[in-house]
Structure 1
Amino acid sequence: MIEYEHFQLDNGLKVYLHRDTSTPMAVMNLVYNVGSRDEDEEKTGFAHLFEHLMFGGSKHIPSYDEPLQKVGGENNAFTSPDITNYYITLPAVNIETAFWLESDRMLSLSFDPEVLEVQRKVVIEEFKQRYLDQPYGDMWLKMRPLAYKNHPYRWATIGKELSHIENATMDDVKDFFYRFYRPDNATLVLAGNLDIDTVKQLSEKWFGAIPAGNHPERNLPQEHVQTEARNLEIRAKVPLNAIFKAYHIPGRYAAEYHKADLLSDVLGRGKSSRLYTSLVKEKKIFHSISAHVTGSVDTGLLLIQGHLNKGIEMQAADEAIMKTISQLSEEPMLNQELDKVKNQAESTLQFSEVDLLHRAMNLAFAANYGNAELCNEDAAQIRAINTEDILTSAKNILAPEKANTIYYYSNNQ
């Protein structure tokens, strides 16, 4: 259970405190309600570019890392299709340094042209290394537009293509910043050995004077129900043939989400899962195979990915996956099998809450979504799922006409 108190500043900044007096450390987690889904289709990759730019100096602070390191702090950030998240861990007695640093970045970046050029090159290099030069690295660049036809999840967080970042101007950067990096589009979570009065005083002191923004209300196109299977073939210099299959699932905070998540666990979590047991251990069709969900706020994906053993035909491997899937859709599983994955899921949840930073993040993500209490409801929702729920989810999600499949052929075979 993550306990918390909260308040809101006049400029719209939502502030939450999760107090833990057992630790001398503190966490500041700041979520901006902007991700790659909020980008212009002709100017993608900006949310991720901003994650980098935010460390390049702000209005009054030329170096972000140096003052934080002096007080024993560490920081990092990440971008997703839904959010951009910044976090700091430091001794609780030095928490004001975190307020000072993050508030100055929210007030304004330095907008130094040299910083833009440096970070542009960093992002371009990351795009090349992770997505273009790495084996199977372009899978998500291909899968997203295959699976999504309307929603802006159809491009990856890194961006749709390199040219969008290469051609980004300083005016583009300023426009993006002042639209989305505003206090009324952010959620601030403090966690650790702190009291609510101190958090209120520091929040007002450092963030209270930052003006609210005027960003447009989000109104994203939604996906239609898929009624026809979609396939794509890729040939590249990769070690083994591979199959990637994606199916649409409910969003992260939807009532049916955990059923889809457990369904993916039954299929492909670990070496006792159905896909691994049948197709790797027993039939030796695949060298490796697994399944997981994306956990997106809007309609997400359940992804199955498997690398074939040499000499196995692609069609035979695909048919073996579909046979395993169909078994889940035809008859209820045993309670023992479901209990195993439920215990795994709940153990993962409990383990994550041991860490102060993960507690802060879980609270921040739920609060950003609009209901902080959702961070405390996962365990009960997992426990309530039964074998009939999994059967129904399998029928709804894993229907053959709802599959998006990439056949990834190795040029070496």
Structure 2
Amino acid sequence: MIQYEQFTLDNGLRVFVHEDATTPLAAVNILYNVGSRDEDPGRTGFAHLFEHLMFGGSQHIPSYDEPLQRVGGENNAFTSPDITNYYITLPAANLETAFWLESDRMLSLSFDPQVLEVQRKVVIEEFKQRYLNQPYGDVWLKLRPLAYQQHPYQWATIGKDISHIENATLDDVRSFFFRYYLPNNAVLVVAGNVTVEEVKQLCARWFAPIPAGAPYVRQLPQEAVQHEARKLETSAKVPLNALYKAWHMPGRFEPNFQTTDLLSDMLGRSKSSRLYQQLLRDNPLFSNIGAYITSSLDPGLLVVQGTLNEGISLEEADAAVESVIQEFIDQAVPDEELTKVKNQAEATLAFSEVELLNRAMNLAYAANAGDPELVNQEAAHIQAVTPDDVQQMARQVLRPENCSTLYYRVA
């Protein structure tokens, strides 16, 4: 259970405080309500580019890292299709340094043309290294637009095309910043050896003077229900043929999300999962195989992926996966199998909350989704899932017409 208190500044910044006097540290997590799903289809990759630009200096602070390092702090950030998240951990005695740094870059980025050029090159190189120049790296550049045909989840966080970043201008950057990087489009979580009163005073000094901007009202095209199976084949110089299958599933805080998550665990989370036992141990068609979910805020994907052993055709491997899936649809789910994955899920949840920073991030994510108390309801939702629930979701999600399949062949 994550205890917290909350308040909202006049400029719309929502602030959450999680007090923990057992640690000498503080975590400052600021989540901006913008991800790759919010981008213009002709200018993708901007949310991720901004993650880099935000470390390039702000109005009064030319170097972000140096003052933080001097007070024993660390920082990082990440971008997802749904959010952009920045975080700092530092000794609680030096908490104000984090407020100074984060408020200054919220107030105004430097918009230095040289910084844009440097970070543009960094992102382009990342695009090449991670997506274009490594085996199977372009899978999500192909699988996302296959599975999503209306929703902007159809492009990866890095962007649709490298040219979108290559052609980004300073005007594009300014427009993006002043639309999304606003106090009324952010959630601030301060956790650790802090007090609510201390955080209120620091917010009044550093964040309250920042003016609010126009409210961002998200109006995204929603993905229609998929009524026909989709298939794509591609090839490249990869070591082995690979199979990818994706089914649409509920969003992160929608009903039946936990049920589908547990379903994916039973399918392919560990060596005791059905896919591993049947298609790697007993009948070794695959050299590796697993299942996972994307955990998107909007309806996401349940994914099965694996690389095949030599001499096994993609058609044979695909049919074998479909056979394992059909068992879920046709046969009752054993209580002991569900109990095992429930215990694994709860253990993962408990361990994740040991870390102070994880607590801060989880609270920010739930608050941004609309209800901070969602962060404390996960375990109860997991325990409430029944074997019948799992079988019902298998029948609803794992329908052949709800599936997008990618065959990745050795060139």
**Which TM-score bucket, shorter chain as reference?**
over 0.9
Sequence identity (%)? 64
Q: Give me the whole-angstrom Cα distance separating, in 2, the residues matched to 1:190 and 1:365.
A: 13
Instruction: Provide the residue aligned with 2:102 in structure 1.
Output: 102
Q: Give me the whole-angstrom Cα distance separating, in 2, the residues matched to 1:29 and 1:185.
A: 14
Instruction: Provide the residue aligned with 1:266 in structure 2.
Output: 266
Instruction: Provide the residue aligned with 2:328 in structure 1.
Output: 328
Instruction: Provide the residue aligned with 2:213 in structure 1.
Output: 213
Instruction: Provide the residue aligned with 1:26 in structure 2.
Output: 26
> In the alignment, does 2:112 pair up with 1:112?
yes
Instruction: Provide the residue aligned with 1:373 in structure 2.
Output: 373
Structure 2, unaligned runs of 5 or more: none
TM-score by length of 2: 1.00
Q: Give me the whole-angstrom Cα distance separating, in 1, the residues matched to 2:110 and 2:403.
A: 46
Pairing 1:260-409 to 2, within 5 Å after superposition: 260-409=260-409
What amino acid does structure 2 have at the position aligned with 1:379?
A
Q: Is the 8 A contact 1:285 1:309 kept in 2?
A: yes
Per-residue CA distance 1:95-137 (angstroms, 9 max, x = gap): 0000000000000001000000000000000000000001101
Q: Give me the whole-angstrom Cα distance separating, in 2, the residues matched to 1:253 and 1:398.
A: 20
Q: Give me the whole-angstrom Cα distance separating, in 1, the residues matched to 2:313 and 2:39.
A: 40
Question: Equivalent residue of 1:210, what SS?
Answer: coil
TM-score by length of 1: 0.99
Q: Give me the whole-angstrom Cα distance separating, in 2, the residues matched to 1:345 and 1:337.
A: 13
Question: Equivalent residue of 1:260, what SS?
Answer: helix
Instruction: Provide the residue aligned with 1:9 in structure 2.
Output: 9
Instruction: Provide the residue aligned with 1:67 in structure 2.
Output: 67
Instruction: Provide the residue aligned with 1:178 in structure 2.
Output: 178
Question: Equivalent residue of 1:326, what SS?
Answer: helix
Q: Is the 8 A contact 2:259 2:390 kept in 1?
A: yes
Q: Is the 8 A contact 1:13 1:184 kept in 2?
A: yes
Q: Is the 8 A contact 2:184 2:215 kept in 1?
A: no
Question: Equivalent residue of 1:247, what SS?
Answer: strand
TM-superposed CA distance for 1:52, in Å, is 0.1
Instruction: Provide the residue aligned with 2:134 in structure 1.
Output: 134
Q: Is the 8 A contact 1:332 1:390 kept in 2?
A: no
- Structure 1 runs of 4+ off > 3 angstroms? none
TM-superposed CA distance for 1:215, in Å, is 4.4
Q: How many residues align?
A: 411
Q: Is the 8 A contact 2:29 2:188 kept in 1?
A: yes
What amino acid does structure 2 have at the position aligned with 1:11?
N
Question: Equivalent residue of 2:364, what SS?
Answer: helix
Q: Give me the whole-angstrom Cα distance separating, in 2, the residues matched to 1:255 and 1:199.
A: 35
Q: Give me the whole-angstrom Cα distance separating, in 2, the residues matched to 1:93 and 1:332.
A: 56
Pairing 1:40-59 to 2, within 5 Å after superposition: 40-59=40-59
Per-residue CA distance 1:198-220 (angstroms, 9 max, x = gap): 00000110000101011441111
Q: Give me the whole-angstrom Cα distance separating, in 2, the residues matched to 1:176 and 1:58.
A: 16
Q: Give me the whole-angstrom Cα distance separating, in 2, the residues matched to 1:11 and 1:141.
A: 38
Q: Give me the whole-angstrom Cα distance separating, in 1, the residues matched to 2:352 and 2:65.
A: 27
Q: Give me the whole-angstrom Cα distance separating, in 2, the residues matched to 1:6 and 1:204.
A: 14
Q: Give me the whole-angstrom Cα distance separating, in 1, the residues matched to 2:285 and 2:370.
A: 45
Q: Give me the whole-angstrom Cα distance separating, in 1, the residues matched to 2:285 and 2:182.
A: 52
Q: Give me the whole-angstrom Cα distance separating, in 2, the residues matched to 1:255 and 1:21.
A: 35
Q: Give me the whole-angstrom Cα distance separating, in 2, the residues matched to 1:352 and 1:133.
A: 33
Structure 1, unaligned runs of 5 or more: none
What amino acid does structure 2 have at the position aligned with 1:378?
E
Per-residue CA distance 1:277-314 (angstroms, 9 max, x = gap): 00000000000000000000001000100100000011
Report the more deviating stretch, 396-405 or 214-223. Answer: 214-223
